[in-house]
């Protein structure tokens, strides 16, 4: 494989001929000499290509090189006299691979706003910021797999099209091949999904958890990592309609064990990305979130805080005047509450556990107090919730009672209930929103800038 620019920049000067390929970021010209900066996305920095026009076989090519064009260059690696790099390329031959008309190229040399870049998502990965996000995201995805693979978890692919609703939140995208203009109807006038492609009503999944649990009941420790879909009608900087989620599930595990894995997992991913993407994080620290690297270093080396929901609400009530939404026992925590708990009370990540049963999903294990469930959310400064998880209700009768109380039909979940009939064990898991984790690591403020093609209310271009 050819060496990319990241590799070339690490080489020493020498007589070997090398080829660089990339896109032109800048060109500085004088009568006798040209400096080109080529970038191929392999690292933040480009490589400087120096052309000595008096000693060059096709100097006229230089005039045709414009910002954004693609270029192939043959030359040698020489020591650079410039302060910005150790080595550069002394060019012998330059080929224009693909031109880029200066008057119509949407990415001019100036700084563009992130809002503008979202409108040209197909080109924005060529910018420093979005390129760095893409590298960090890729590195984090690999770190996720590394953590689980090295700790005895198996990767399970759960279905994206599903007949069951995991979170019971009712915000699902329907999947159908029925003719929307003339759907078949049952006798009582409802759409007849038995005539649909799958012979039943189906949707895009909001979570792979329920199917993930079935594999944890066989392989002990598993994880999923895939896209999930939510038709939430909320336009925020933290919500997408299509986002990626990582969901580990552990058999023979309780809430304490769940919390422990969540903390070790996050720390591993953060430490790994600090190690592998140092240059990109320095960039984010400088231009996006000052203090970012110190923050991550601190998070990786400090135990996470832990609070029970009841105590968390007491803290919030003490500061009640600070919130738009007044906190009380039983309320679902709002982002402003979550941020206050992590930013002000705990000054770092905090796991809040044991929430009121009314505000959490049906599958969470009932606590002995009869009021709360063994739920866990991990909250971080700036973002609020980044992880949601729980110990699962593994007792058949209690689970069925809970489903009945919520109006869920037990027969729809027959296979899920079977797990509680055949060798049931205490088990627990959680879901990490991958984009939220990328936001946390990069300091990026809007979730739409940490996924290549964001899908959100009113937005599905590209």
Residue placing its CB nearer to Mg ion in the complex, 273 or 378: 378
Query: Is 431 one of the binding residues for Mg ion (CB under 5 A)?
Result: no
Query: Is 137 one of the binding residues for ligand 4AD (CB under 6 A)?
Result: no
Residue 257-286 contact track with ligand 4AD, rule CB under 6 A, x = bound: ------------------------------
Cβ contacts of residue 35 below 8 Å, gap of 6+?
26, 27, 28, 29, 48, 49, 50, 51
For the chain, state the CA radius of gyration.
27
Query: Is 22 one of the binding residues for Mg ion (CB under 5 A)?
Result: no
Q: Which stretch binds ligand 4AD (CB under 6 A): 237-245, 338-346, 402-410, 413-421?
A: 237-245
Query: Is 208 one of the binding residues for Mg ion (CB under 5 A)?
Result: no
Q: Which stretch binds ligand 4AD (CB under 6 A): 78-86, 196-204, 307-315, 380-388?
A: 380-388
DSSP structure string for 64-107: G--TT-EEEEEEEEEE--SSS-SEEEEEEEEEEEE---TTT-S-
Task: Output the smallest distance, CB 385 to Mg ion, in A.
Answer: 6
Which among Mg ion, ligand 4AD, none contacts residue 94 (Cβ within 5 to 8 A by kind)? Answer: none
Task: Spell 148-170 as b/e; 16+ CB within 10 A means b.
Answer: beeeebeebebeeebebbbbeee
Alpha carbons 449 and 123: distance in angstroms, whole number: 13
Enclosing H/E stretch for 118: helix 114-119
Residue 61 in 3-state DSSP? helix
Task: Output the smallest distance, CB 266 to Mg ion, in A.
Answer: 16
Applying CB under 6 A, among 148, 193, 430, 440 the residue interacting with ligand 4AD is 430
Do residues 446 and 237 lie in contact, with contact meaning Cβ atoms separated by under 8 Å?
yes
Query: Is 207 one of the binding residues for ligand 4AD (CB under 6 A)?
Result: yes
Looking only at residues 389 through 428 of this chain, which bind ligand 4AD when binding is defined by CB under 6 A? 389-390
Which among ligand 4AD, Mg ion, none contacts residue 435 (Cβ within 5 to 8 A by kind)? Answer: ligand 4AD
Applying CB under 6 A, among 230, 339, 360, 402 the residue interacting with ligand 4AD is 230
Phi-psi region of 316 (alpha: psi -120 to 50; beta: other; left: phi over 0): alpha
Q: Which stretch binds Mg ion (CB under 5 A): 47-55, 112-120, 161-169, 382-390?
A: 382-390
Query: Is 385 one of the binding residues for ligand 4AD (CB under 6 A)?
Result: yes
Do residues 417 and 399 lie in contact, with contact meaning Cβ atoms separated by under 8 Å?
yes
Do residues 354 and 309 lie in contact, with contact meaning Cβ atoms separated by under 8 Å?
yes
192: phi then psi, degrees, rounded to nearest 5: -95, 90
DSSP structure string for 215-239: HHHHHSEEEEEEEEE-------SS-
Enclosing H/E stretch for 246: strand 242-251
Task: Output the smallest distance, CB 363 to Mg ion, in A.
Answer: 13
> For residue 253, what are its two tokens?
């595990």
Query: Is 433 one of the binding residues for ligand 4AD (CB under 6 A)?
Result: yes
Applying CB under 6 A, among 380, 387, 444, 450 the residue interacting with ligand 4AD is 387
Q: Which stretch binds ligand 4AD (CB under 6 A): 20-28, 232-240, 279-287, 304-312?
A: 232-240
Query: Is 388 one of the binding residues for Mg ion (CB under 5 A)?
Result: yes
Alpha carbons 122 and 239: distance in angstroms, whole number: 21
Query: Is 232 one of the binding residues for ligand 4AD (CB under 6 A)?
Result: yes
Find residue 379's DSSP bridge partners.
350, 385
Query: Is 166 one of the binding residues for ligand 4AD (CB under 6 A)?
Result: yes
Which among Mg ion, ligand 4AD, none contacts residue 449 (Cβ within 5 to 8 A by kind)? Answer: none
Dihedral angle, C-alpha 337, 248, 161, 417, nearest 10 °: -100
Judged by the rule CB under 6 A, the positions of this chain that interact with ligand 4AD are: 166-167, 207, 209, 230, 232, 239-240, 243, 245, 247, 385-390, 429-431, 433, 435-436
Interface with Mg ion (CB under 5 A): 388
């Amino acid at each position: 494989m050819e060496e990319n620019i990241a590799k070339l920049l690490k080489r020493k000067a020498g007589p070997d001929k090398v080829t660089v390929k990339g896109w032109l970021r800048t060109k500085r010209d004088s009568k006798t000499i040209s400096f080109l900066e080529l970038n191929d996305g392999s690292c933040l920095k480009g490589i400087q290509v120096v052309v000595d026009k008096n000693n060059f076989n096709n100097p006229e090519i230089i005039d045709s090189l414009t910002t954004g064009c693609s270029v192939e260059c043959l030359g040698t690696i020489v020591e650079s006299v410039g302060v910005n790099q150790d080595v550069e390329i002394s060019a012998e031959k330059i080929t224009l691979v693909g031109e880029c008309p200066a008057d119509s190229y949407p990415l001019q040399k100036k700084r563009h706003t992130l809002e503008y870049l979202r409108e040209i998502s197909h080109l924005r990965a060529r910018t420093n910021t979005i390129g760095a996000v893409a590298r960090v995201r890729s590195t984090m995805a690999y770190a996720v797999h590394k953590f689980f693979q090295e700790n005895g978890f198996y990767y399970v692919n759960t279905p994206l099209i599903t007949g069951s609703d995991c979170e019971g939140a009712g915000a699902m995208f329907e999947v159908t091949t029925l003719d929307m203009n003339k759907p078949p109807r049952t006798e009582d006038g409802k759409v007849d999904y038995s005539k649909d492609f799958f012979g039943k009503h189906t949707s895009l999944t909001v979570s792979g958890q329920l199917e993930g649990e079935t594999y944890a009941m066989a392989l002990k420790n598993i994880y999923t990592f895939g896209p999930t879909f939510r038709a939430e009608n909320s336009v925020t900087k933290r919500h997408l309609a299509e986002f990626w989620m990582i969901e580990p599930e552990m058999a023979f595990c309780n809430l304490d064990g769940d919390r422990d894995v969540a903390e070790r997992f996050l720390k591993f991913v953060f430490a790994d990305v600090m190690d592998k993407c140092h240059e990109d994080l320095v960039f984010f620290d400088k231009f996006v979130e000052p203090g970012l690297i110190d923050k991550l270093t601190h998070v990786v080396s400090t135990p996470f805080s832990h609070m029970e929901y009841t105590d968390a609400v007491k803290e919030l009530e003490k500061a009640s005047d600070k919130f738009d939404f007044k906190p009380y026992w039983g309320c679902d925590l709002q982002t402003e509450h979550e941020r206050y708990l992590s930013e002000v009370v705990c000054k770092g990540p905090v796991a809040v556990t044991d929430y009121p049963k009314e505000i959490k999903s049906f599958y969470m294990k009932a606590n002995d107090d009869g009021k709360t469930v063994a739920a866990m959310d991990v909250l971080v400064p700036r973002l609020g919730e980044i992880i949601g998880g729980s110990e699962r209700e593994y007792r058949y009768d209690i689970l069925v009672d809970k489903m009945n109380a919520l109006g869920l039909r037990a027969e729809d979940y027959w296979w899920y209930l079977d797990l509680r009939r055949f060798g049931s064990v205490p088990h627990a898991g959680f879901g990490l929103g991958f984009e939220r984790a990328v936001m946390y690591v990069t300091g990026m403020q809007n979730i739409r800038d940490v996924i290549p093609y964001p899908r959100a209310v009113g937005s599905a271009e590209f």
